[in-house]
Structure 1
Amino acid sequence: MHLKSAGLSVNRASIAHKIRYAARNPRRIAPYARRTARDAWLRLKHRDHVAYYRAVMASDTSRDPDAAVGSASHARWLALGEMQFAYLKDHGLRAEHRMLDIGCGNLRAGWRFIDHLAPGGYYGIDISPDILISAKKTLVTYKLQDKLPHLTLTRDLTFDFLPDAHFDVVHAHSVFSHSPLSVIEECLGHVGRILAPGGFFDFTFDRTEGHEHHVLREDFYYRTETLAALAERHGLRARFQEDWEKLPHGQSKLRVSAG
């Protein structure tokens, strides 16, 4: 039985929900309207989802890199990064592991992973060149240059430039929450090839127990069963991480390993 079930049947894309939310939060109407107008313009310019979301990240990063990765303040950026790192460290991440961080952003959790792992053990990828520039600044801030992390721009999640059976841990926080099902399936269809024997892939997602939906094609809500079945279709075994639900973050987590 999943924990934290309150509100999981809400369809945030419905008109009724938007009206109720606006009535309760009148100060958020103007920001939402601006975001809607911006996203409509970006979707007209970029029909492909990855290109569209790269433009979203460029826009958000230009204002505040921490906010661009979903942190309302730098204190929250630090807290969320610490929470991701502590959970993964307590659930199997060891210093000698080789780790792939999908959607590494500006290293909110990544700088802690880099510090924990042996030199060269961290490989971060992202679709946004703007946020990767911010990631390099984070490396300098925390004086982690001697750890020689890889930071690579990518356009898809086929991992075709990475070797077979290489990574002990693959991690994606707040990536699938911004991805249509086609992107998630692309990832799950290829991640098994790069997982080392005994390796695992942890990813978070916005969970719903009602109708699957999206808001402005930026925020996607999926049923656990949908993503678990998708993993199984590609020869992977998915396990819902119940204890992750107890933490203050707002998303759910699945762990995927070879079936």
Structure 2
Amino acid sequence: MARTAPSRDRSRLLYKAAYALRRPGRVPRYARRSLRDAMLRARYGRDHVAYYRAVMASDSERSAESAVGGPTSSREAWLRIGKWQYEYLLAHGLKPADRLLEIGCGNLRAGWRLMRYLEPGHYYGIDISPHILLSAKDTVVRYGLQDRLPHLTLTDNLSFDFLPADHFTVIHAHSVFSHTPLEVIEECFEHVGRILAPGGFFDLTFDRTEGREHHVLREDFYYRTETLAALAARHGLSAELMADWEAMPHGQSKLRIRADR
């Protein structure tokens, strides 16, 4: 059975107070995150890429797994979540000949499995964080994947202007748009159709709400499905909520985006 979409507004004071009473041990961490948020907002203003790059740099000081999976993430969770992503794509027809772009590839939680499966040179990962891409290179070495010729590229936007048109049969973004304001998502939707190959698809996960859309600090964003689908349609894309992904116990929803051609 599909899980129920979250509808609680985590930005409201009442929710925060109740959460603090239930989990008092997490209050100091939230206080540290709030202080960091205030400092980074003052420094970077509305430049979300610069803001979140600094967040990733801060989290990477603890560990790369923490940076891509949250403060409680372990090596076991890193492997488990990456395996879910990989097996889901295989179940939906991923083939070795596919050309795959992973947006927000991180330290290759799913990417190492994908590049091992795909033909050499067919995995392309981009990320905004130089710290996490250095860790991604370590992952390539750890799993002996140098001969898969992966492309790992630092980026500061989602215009994809350095990538070829009609090239990628699969585009994948896990736990990226759950940390992204709407204007950055729109930039992605405006340009992603150009690089999608005919018949290709773009899978993205997001934190879903059925109530008021909101964010917690500038790190965690909650959207209605209808909002993202309408934004995609504005740029000639169709969006489908993936019910089979909803049934998995990972806490996020998934949209499949296709170019209307």
What is the TM-score with the length of structure 1 in the denominator? 0.98
Pairing 1:185-204 to 2, within 5 Å after superposition: 185-204=186-205
**Over aligned residues, Cα RMSD in angstroms?**
1.0
Aligned residues: 257
Paired amino acid for 2:178: S
2:225 aligns to what? 224
TM-superposed CA distance for 1:69, in Å, is: 0.2
Q: Distance between the aligned counterparts of 1:88 and 1:230, measured in 2? A: 24
1:129 aligns with 2:130: yes
1:243 aligns with 2:241: no
Q: Distance between the aligned counterparts of 2:198 and 2:103, measured in 1? A: 19
1:111 aligns with 2:112: yes
2:14 aligns to what? 16
Paired amino acid for 1:58: A
1:205 aligns to what? 206
2:2 aligns to what? 3
Paired amino acid for 1:188: F
2:59 aligns to what? 60
Q: Distance between the aligned counterparts of 1:229 and 1:182, measured in 2? A: 14
With 35-44 and 129-138 compared, the bigger mean Cα shift is at 35-44
Structure 2 segments unaligned to the other structure (5+ residues): none
1:161 aligns to what? 162
Q: Distance between the aligned counterparts of 2:41 and 2:125, measured in 1? A: 27
Cα deviation per residue 1:193-222 (whole Å; 9 max; x = unaligned)? 000010000000000000000001100000
1:35 aligns to what? 33
Q: Distance between the aligned counterparts of 2:36 and 2:239, measured in 1? A: 36
Paired amino acid for 1:106: N
TM-superposed CA distance for 1:3, in Å, is: 3.1
Q: Distance between the aligned counterparts of 2:96 and 2:40, measured in 1? A: 41
Q: Distance between the aligned counterparts of 1:218 and 1:134, measured in 2? A: 21
- % identical equivalent positions: 65
Q: Distance between the aligned counterparts of 2:189 and 2:147, measured in 1? A: 32
Paired amino acid for 1:117: L
TM-superposed CA distance for 1:45, in Å, is: 1.4
Cα deviation per residue 1:215-242 (whole Å; 9 max; x = unaligned)? 0110000000000111111111111100
What is the TM-score with the length of structure 2 in the denominator? 0.97
